[in-house]
Amino acid sequence: MGIIEQYQRLGVKDIAGHLGLHPFDVIRVLAARGPLPEDLAFEESEQERIRGESGLEVWWTPGRRLEADSVHARGVLRSMVRELVARKIVAPRATRVDNLWRGLEDEDERIARRAVNLLLQEQFLKTVSSRLGIMVTVPADKVEALERIAAGTEMPASLAALWLAS
């Protein structure tokens, strides 16, 4: 391979930037396949394969609305919980933790990250070990409670820390 061809290929950092991942996450996916390639340079088409193998999903696309709520942070929480339930992310099924906020605006992403921490503390979510990185799942006995949270009919006081701290 010539020098020009090598510079036209994507490096790990390029792929990570395009996918919104940390370069380590790209290496993790590549290592799960087997031995790493010597040059760590890839064709552009490889990017989609890595996206699929990494479990990366964009839940929040432009124009997609969050739950309307008089308290914005509560609306972000309810939206995220709604997506978890709608996508049936119930044990044993799990998703990358960063899928929960991928595509949100910066402030909403910060709220979502704090919400995930609260949901984990209160055991509405559990972490799952995976070769893909940190994954989360909803325990089966928490689905109904999360459905009520998403609908706005019930909100545990412990989760109010999300918007009281704002």
Show the domain range for 133.
72-164
In this structure, are 92 and 154 located in the same domain? Answer: yes
Q: Indicate whether 67 belongs to any domain.
A: no
- Give the tens place of pLDDT for each residue, 43-84: 888 888 898 898 989 899 887 788 889 999 999 999 999 999
Asked if residue 66 lies in contact with residue 75, where contact means CB atoms within 8 angstroms, the answer is yes
- What's the one-letter identity of residue 20? G
Q: Indicate whether 14 belongs to any domain.
A: yes
pTM: 0.83
Say yes or no to pLDDT of 142 above 90: yes
Asked if residue 162 lies in contact with residue 115, where contact means CB atoms within 8 angstroms, the answer is yes
- CATH number where 99 lies: 1.10.10
83 to each of 25, 66, 105, 126, how far by Cα in Å? 23, 10, 17, 16
Number of domains in the chain: 2
In this structure, are 114 and 36 located in the same domain? Answer: no
